[in-house]
Amino acid sequence: ILPVVVEEMHAPTKSRSNEAIRWTMVSVAIMYVAFAVFGYLYAYDMPVGVSGDILLNFPSDRILVNIVRIGLFLTLDLSYPLLVLPCYQSLESLVTELRGYEVGHSRRSFSSKLWNVAEILLLCVTSLACAIAVPHIQVVFAFLGSTVCNIIAFVLPPLFFVNSRPAGSALWNRRNASAVLLFALGVFLVITCTGVQIANINQLLSK
């Protein structure tokens, strides 16, 4: 997404791109924190507690709340193709590479549009099946937080750092020591946090 945003900027430069990304992340973080804090303050003393979907804590006979629910539904429903597109492109690149073609090579010589439709249907059906199988959104958030977030924050950065070492240099040296420790911490957090979520799965499902 970020390369596309940069390409759409007027006179894109590295400093302007970094500034746009920085302010985007700050504004989104402020909105997320504000909604989380005020949502928790609103529902923390309710008998049912704070739901994984804060909209479930609001009464169903409020017109404004129902409008927000409809807006959220439309947002998720209409933005779904944008979420599927990167998955489809990654799957397309993977299949193309496995078939022995370079990424970006036209697949018309060995595949038809029917194959492309089958890939998209596979992604849609798989995601729909997962959405139906998981009863509560907090289950998704819990496992994403324990796996994907830790991998992005603690596992992948040290791997990228070690991979960027000068050609011919040793893998294990003082320069990579902190990266190795961070990688070990990330693996430990992934295993530990995922284990905790699995142990508390019944509690998550009961909320």
Q: How do residues 159-190 score in pLDDT, each as one tens digit?
A: 888 887 777 666 677 778 888 898 999 999 99
Name the more confident of 189 and 127.
189
Q: Please give the pLDDT value at position 5.
A: 64
Model confidence over 33-53: pLDDT tens digits?
A: 998 898 888 888 888 777 777
H-type helices in the chain, by residue range? 2-8, 14-43, 63-98, 113-133, 137-146, 148-150, 156-163, 177-199, 201-206
Q: What is the pTM of this model?
A: 0.58
73: CB partners within 8 A, 6+ apart: none
Q: Mean pLDDT over residues 193-201, rounded?
A: 88
Q: Please give the pLDDT value at position 109.
A: 46
- How many angstroms separate the CA atoms of 57 and 127, rounded? 26
Maximum distance among all Cα pairs of the chain, rounded to whole angstroms: 68
Q: What angle do CA 175, 179, 180 make, to 5 degrees?
A: 105
- How many angstroms separate the CA atoms of 5 and 22, rounded? 13
Q: Residue 183, Cβ neighbours under 10 Å: how many?
A: 19
Model confidence over 60-85: pLDDT tens digits?
A: 888 988 998 899 889 888 888 778 88
| pLDDT tops 80 at residue 17 | no
Q: Please give the pLDDT value at position 100.
A: 65
- Phi/psi region, residue 106 (left: phi>0; alpha: psi -120 to 50; beta: rest), is beta
Asked if 135 and 205 count as a contact pair (C-beta separation under 8 A), the reply is yes
Asked if 70 and 154 count as a contact pair (C-beta separation under 8 A), the reply is no
- The two structure tokens encoding residue 132: 């139906």
Model confidence over 83-123: pLDDT tens digits?
A: 888 888 888 788 777 766 554 555 454 456 787 788 888 88
Domain boundaries defined on the chain: 1-45, 51-101+110-133, 135-206
Q: CA-CA distances (angstroms) from residue 83 to 12, 76, 80, 99, 109? A: 25, 10, 5, 25, 28
Q: Please give the pLDDT value at position 127.
A: 85
